[in-house]
Amino acid sequence: MDKLLLEIKYKREEMIETAFRDGFDSMETIRASQELDVLIVKYQRCKEKVDKVFVADILKNAACLLLSSYRKITQPLIKNFFALLMASILR
């Protein structure tokens, strides 16, 4: 993703230079802008995938922690509470 961020940075600089050199509505500026849009969308999709994996890992770790705590609980009321909490997380 770092490589993609660098590509976005350079493409943005290219677009700005082109706009000042050839005009904001020139075909070269529009082309650079469209290429920049593609890179940004690609970055957002990659970031979204990473975020989903991160959240899934957090939920998995929380479920494991709750499960280990659940096994140690002897009081029925608290045990039922933990069972409901785990069920809602694992849904």
pLDDT at 76: 73
The pLDDT tens digits for 3-41 are 999 999 999 999 999 999 999 999 999 999 999 999 999
Rounded CA separation 67/65 (Å)? 5
pLDDT at 17: 96
Q: Where are the domains of the chain?
A: 2-90
pTM of the model: 0.58
Find all residues with CB under 8 Å of 5, minimum gap 6, and list them: 43
Find all residues with CB under 8 Å of 32, minimum gap 6, and list them: 11, 14, 15, 18
pLDDT at 7: 96
Cβ 70 vs Cβ 86: under 8 Å:
yes
